[in-house]
Amino acid sequence: MLVSIFVTTIMSMYKLLFLVLFISQTACSQTSNKANTKNNSMSKNIYYSTTNKEKVVVPDSVWKQILSPEVYAVARQKGTERPFSSPFETSKEVGTYHCVACGNPLFKSDTKFDSGCGWPSFFDPIAKGAIIYTPDNTHGMTRTEVQCGKCKAHLGHVFEDGPPPTGLRYCINGVVLALEKK
């Protein structure tokens, strides 16, 4: 009888030990999952902020790891998206359009108009320093390139055939815009 009680006690202790080991292992795996999640969020765009106004100076090699290939090709390699390919081209959503790379506010939806040119078009930027203007004489044309004033991402070009009151048409690649809806 005594032996039987002894064995039962030992068995219970083993069970308890097993349970403790199991719980600690589960806890460990949860911790490592959390660590993975943290690492994943670290590889996302840490330079995107709609409130921080500081200039963002980041090498293209770093942007290449952060931005999608489509955004990188336009923003950092001055590419042009296919006309009529952006959902923003015909969008009537109300809000503010930001630079998708750095979050800089660029245009308000009430300055957007239907130009029919195939790209989202605006007649006025949100603020004077929001945009950088650079002469662009490539492709046999004399144009003015517009870049993000915060991270220098290529946005598109500005032309002098827009509607009043500015008479300007900011022809912008939709892929480099992020709309923050009102």
The upper half-sphere exposure of residue 45, i.e. CA atoms within 13 Å in the direction of its Cβ, equals: 19
- Candidate residues 67, 71, 102, 175; the one interacting with Zn ion per rule CB under 5 A: 102
Look at residues 110, 113, 81 and name the one whose alpha carbon lies nearest to residue 177. Answer: 81
Q: Annotated catalytic, 148?
A: no
Output 153 or 172, the one with its CB closest to Zn ion: 153
- Candidate residues 74, 99, 155, 171; the one interacting with Zn ion per rule CB under 5 A: 99
Rounded-to-integer distance, Cα 10 and Cα 58, Å: 63
Q: Are 112 and 94 in contact (CB under 8 A)?
A: no
Using CB under 5 A as the criterion, what x/- string covers residues 132-161 for binding Zn ion?
Answer: ----------------x-xx-x--------
Residues 56-95 that bind Zn ion (CB under 5 A): none
Phi, psi of 60 (to 5 degrees): -55, -30
Is residue 175 exposed (0-12), middle (13-18) or buried (19+ Cβ within 10 Å)? buried
Output 58 or 117, the one with its CB closest to Zn ion: 58
Output 112 or 150, the one with its CB closest to Zn ion: 150
Note the residues at the interface with Zn ion (CB under 5 A).
99, 101-102, 104, 148, 150-151, 153
Positions marked catalytic: 171
